[in-house]
Amino acid sequence: MELKLADYKSDLAPDWCPGCGDYGILSALQMALYKLKIEPSRAVLVSGIGCSAKTVHYAATYGIHTLHGRPLPVAQGVKLANPELSVIAMAGDGDGMGIGAGHFIGAGRRNPDLLYLIFNNAVYGMTKGQASPTLELGAQPKSLARPNIQNKVNPLMLAFAAGFTFIARGYAYDVKKLAHLMELGLRHRGLAMIDVLQPCPTYNNLHTREWFAPRIYDVAAEGYDPLVPREMSDEERAERMGRFTTKAGEWGERIPTGVFWQAQLPSFEERLGEYLPGYPADAPASRPPGGEAERVSALMRGHRVAQ
């Protein structure tokens, strides 16, 4: 039976605020899954806590709505146990860059084959608009009693430092381009991160659709090439890092989107496979049951007093 875009939509109607960027992200994700013909039952969406976390309930895939900050570990557990599944982790900016930031670094170091979306609206929406870790120093959206006195973290730069092999930024109101970025991220073998900029029409009156519209541009349109060859001279590496840093750090009058960095490195599953016989084809959740007694007997042999 041919898959339709509607097959990716659940029966539940979203309860986000009108104009929320989450609608665009959900649509883009459904489009990307549809475009790649990923069977809904072979896709697992894993979210944290907050407005963004409800996304998983609106897609007719498997959906796991975890705890605040923990989508990445749960997503990695699903993926490592059954590497045949397409796993998409998603987190709000507070979820991913605040309470769960440690996992961001841990996942980057491993490079599991996942797509990770950050819903970045610079505020904690569900708790009524507190400053998130991506809000600029000195900014004061209407929900804050005083200007933000903590500096912001740049998810792209942090992803680079942590070792993410696919680093991109999208914009929630440009659904078509965002879907295309997600498609690239899903095709990427390894950990793909997309920082998705989105307005919060209820609590963030600074980063509005009107504020973003004239600033957003696509790095690809300027001829930026994110592909990083496996082998590079020191000079070439320095040049590419410099280019990445310049683009990733650009914020203000112009805000770049698109793919900033894409490198081909062995995925975590492949690295594990070097030590665990049969993995990833033969994985803990997909292998047939049986063989336990033989495994214990093999372990016990090493403990025999006399052979």
Partner 1 sequence: MEDYTWRVGGPQGGGIETAATLFAQALARGGWWVSARREYHSNIMGRHSYLDVRATRRPTRAFFERVDLLAALDAETLVRHLGEVKPGGVLVHDPEAARLPLSKLAMLDSAAYRRIAVALGGGDPLVQEALERYRDEGVHLVPLALEPLAREAGEAAGADAITARKTLNTVAVAASLALLGYPLELLEGALEAHFAAKPGVAELNRRVAAEVYARVEPLKEGHLEPVGSPGKRIYINGSHASAMGKVAAGLGFMSYYPITPATDEPFYLEAHPESGVLVVQVEDELAAVNMAIGASMAGARAALTTSGPGFALMTESLGFAGLTETPLVISLYQRGGPSTGLPTRTEQGDLRFALGAGHGDYPRAVLASESVADNFHDAALAMNLAQRFQLPVIHLTDKYLASQTRTLEPFDVAAIEPDPGVQAREAAGVFPRFSLNAEGGVSPRIPVGTPGAGYWITSDEHDEIGHITEDPELRDAMMEKRAAKMDALKEWLGADAMYRAWNPGADILVLGWGSTGGVALEAMTGLDLGYIQVRFLLPFPDLEELISGKKLVVLEYNQSGQFAHLLTQETGRKPEHLIVKYNGRPMTIEEVRAAFEAVLSGTAPQYMVLRGGV
Residue 233 or 297: the one with the smaller Cβ distance to partner 1 is: 297
Could you tell me the smallest distance in angstroms from the CB atom of residue 8 to partner 1? 11
Taking CB under 8 A as the rule, does residue 103 contact partner 1? Answer: yes
- 296 sits near partner 1 (criterion: CB under 8 A): yes
How many residues in the shown chain lie near partner 1 by CB under 8 A? Answer: 64
Binds partner 1 (CB under 8 A): choice among 106, 163, 201, 266? 106
27: which DSSP letter? H
CB of 206 to partner 1, least distance (A): 30
**Could you give the 3-state DSSP secondary structure of residue 217?**
strand
What CA–CA distance (Å, rounded) separates 71 from 67? 7
Q: Is 6 in the site for partner 1 (CB under 8 A)?
A: no
Which of 31, 44, 122, 197: binder of partner 1 (CB under 8 A)?
44
CA distance 49 to 61: 18
Are 211 and 129 spatial neighbours (Cβ–Cβ below 8 Å)? no
Window 248-287: residues binding partner 1 (CB under 8 A): 272, 275-277, 279, 283-287
How far is CA 115 from each of CA 76, 133, 135, 149, 254, rounded to the nearest angstrom?
A: 11, 21, 24, 32, 26
Q: Which is nearer to partner 1, 183 or 269 (CB)?
A: 269
**Residue 301: what are its φ and ψ, rounded to 5°?**
-55, -35
Amino acid at 198: Q
Instruction: Say if CB 194 and CB 169 are below 8 A apart.
Output: yes
Q: Shortest approach of partner 1 to residue 269 CB, angstroms?
A: 10
Checking DSSP bridges between strand 255-263 and strand 227-228, what pairing results, if any? Answer: parallel
| 74 lies in the binding site for partner 1 (CB under 8 A) | yes
Binding mask 136-165 for partner 1 (x = CB under 8 A): ------------------------------
Cα–Cα distance, 67 to 208 (Å, whole number):
28
Single out the segment in contact with partner 1 by CB under 8 A; choices: 56-64, 187-195, 205-213, 251-259. Answer: 56-64
Stretch that binds partner 1, among 131-139, 151-159, 185-193, 299-307 (CB under 8 A): 299-307
> In angstroms, what is the minimal distance from the CB of 224 to partner 1?
32
H-helix or E-strand spanning residue 166: strand 166-171
Which of 74-82, 182-190, 194-202, 214-222 is the region at the interface with partner 1 (rule: CB under 8 A)?
74-82
Residue 76 interacts with partner 1 (CB under 8 A): yes or no? yes
Among 96, 76, 87, 93, smallest CA distance to 115 is for 87
Opening angle at CA 81, ends 301 and 192, nearest 5? 135
- Give the span between the Cα atoms of 194 and 164, in whole angstroms: 11
Q: How far apart are the first and last CA of the chain?
A: 59
The yes or no reply on residue 85 touching partner 1 (CB under 8 A) is: yes
Residues near partner 1, by CB under 8 A: 12, 39-42, 44, 46, 49, 54, 56-57, 60-67, 69-70, 72-82, 84-85, 102-103, 105-106, 272, 275-277, 279, 283-287, 289, 291-293, 295-300, 302-307
